Amino acid sequence: MNGDVLKNFVNGQWEEPRGVDTLPLVNPATGERLAQVPLTNRDQLNQAVKAAKDAFEDWRDVPAIERARYLFRYKALLDEHKEELARTLTKEHGKTLAEARGSIRRGIENVEHACGIPALMQGTSLSDISPGIDCKTIRQPLGVYAAITPFNFPAMVPLWFWPYAVATGNTFILKPSEKVPLSQQFQFELIEQAGFPKGVLSMVHGTKEVAEGLVEHPDVQGISFVGSTAIARKVYERASSLGKRVQALGGAKNHVVIMPDAVEEPTVNAVVDSAFGCGGQRCLAASVAVLVGDAYDKFKDKLVERASEFKLGNGLDEGVTLGPVICAGSRDRILSYIEKGVQDGAKILLDGRKAAVEGYPDGEWVGPTIFDEVTDDMAIYKEEIFGPVLALRKAKNLDEALSMVQSSEYANATAIFTSDGGAARKYQTESGVSMVGVNVGVAAPMAFFPFGGTKSSFFGDVKAHGDDSIRFFTDAKVVMSRWF
């Protein structure tokens, strides 16, 4: 595939954008050139939006149970090809094969959930709200929706959005990350096989021009976005100012709190896997571990010991438990944060700056890194690093730990590790964070629960998947009737 230019999928067919520049797509573990990604322009994007708008007029009238049958077919195809898809994902992203398989499985769960749209989309009714007058709500689709998705979970995150959008009767355009488009190229081949009508689903490759085009296009009714807080805020402000629905999921700085009574082995494993799994490149990763009271002496060395056991390498190789970061730019940014942490006076307990893997000199390697003696004013504590870096903090008691969590700019996910039900209840009530784990390192909700944070981690009113998706992708119309 090395020199192939990827194609857009528009109006039910594959189209190679012409007269546009391309970006090289590189395997971050091996340096192998995988493909060329086209930078689609606004004119070509507008064709995709027009096709989606035209398709909406018929698709909205297809009965919900028939729309669900397309998703059932697509789900079956995902199950049939999930191993090949996982290998494609590992090649383009670098995450281990086990991590790739897990993310695909969670994506499929969203398709499964959306298949229940005949029940999920039902409204409510009440007879005789006044003598002889009945009232009901019905949920109706709004038109063309779009998503701008990130590099860290390229096979899974789009499935948080489009299955619900098309199941409820909308049409949809996806702009995948230009860093990892191969897994979506694969999935749209399966979408084509599933037989969705022309124009219902489209994929357009590109960068800023395509993203801004979707946000600003007058025929796009709503935008789903996942990425950094800075961009999420801009997407929300611009799209909402144009009257669009927006769910913009931003960055994170997730704290995990370890109480002295936490069960040792599962706590250590969960915290380390949360911090360093997927190279720390996930919005639910633990980036700060707050050790309460005696937990500091009990857990500090064990966290370092467990983190040092990761085996770096190509995610397709046997025994590898940690792959590369996504690209040279990300590697350089992560390393600059580690350097700044050292300069600011934090004590480095485990140093991943000189990580290397035999046989893969061109890989973007950063090893697990743990800092101690981290203070409130340090960049490694305040800012999202999005890499395999964990900061340790001490707290005298649970109240002090809670104050650290509450003072963070972000509020995406958090966790407490304890054997005390009272402490767990207090934490989940007072932490101020939207996704809370109790003895769970990655508080990732299942497809039938909402996903999203608050503060600078989320911009919008209605979150991703679960029942929130049905609300986001439909208008709740109220009908009052009286018959003479």
DSSP per-residue letters across 394-447: EESSHHHHHHHHHTSSEESEEEEE-S-HHHHHHHHHHS--SEEEES-SS----T
- Cα dist. 66→58, 70, 201, 470, 474 in Å? 13, 7, 16, 17, 18
- Pairs from 335-343 (Cβ < 8 Å, separation ≥ 24): 335/366, 337/379, 337/380, 337/383, 337/385, 337/387, 337/389, 338/369, 338/380, 338/389, 340/378, 340/379, 340/380, 341/371, 341/374, 341/378, 341/379, 341/380, 341/389, 341/391
Query: Minimal CA–CA distance to 164: which of 192, 136, 145, 151?
Result: 145
**Measured distance CA(195)–CA(115) in Å, rounded:** 16
3-state helix, strand, coil in the chain (%, to 5): 40, 25, 35
- Cα dist. 251→147, 319, 412 in Å? 17, 31, 8
Torsion on CA atoms 272, 273, 275, 279, rounded to nearest 10: 130
SS3 341: helix
- Name residues whose C-beta falls within 8 Å of residue 416's C-beta, 6 or more positions apart in sequence: 256, 257, 259, 423, 424, 427, 428, 431, 436, 437, 438, 439
Q: Which residue has the tokens 């709503």?
A: 222
Say whether 283 is catalytic. yes
CB 69 within 8 A of CB 62: no
Residue 125: its H or E element: strand 125-130
First to last CA, the chain: 69
CB 371 within 8 A of CB 389: yes
Angle between helix 229-241 and 208-216 (nearest 10)? 30
The C-alpha R_g of the chain, in whole angstroms, comes to 23
SS3 370: strand
127 is written with which tokens?
Answer: 């007879």
Q: Which residue has the tokens 């730990």?
A: 401
Angle between helix 208-216 and 42-59 (nearest 10)? 40
Longest CA–CA separation in the chain, Å: 83
CB 87 within 8 A of CB 97: yes
Please pick, among 135, 278, 283, 327, the residue that the annotation labels catalytic: 283
What positions carry a catalytic annotation?
283
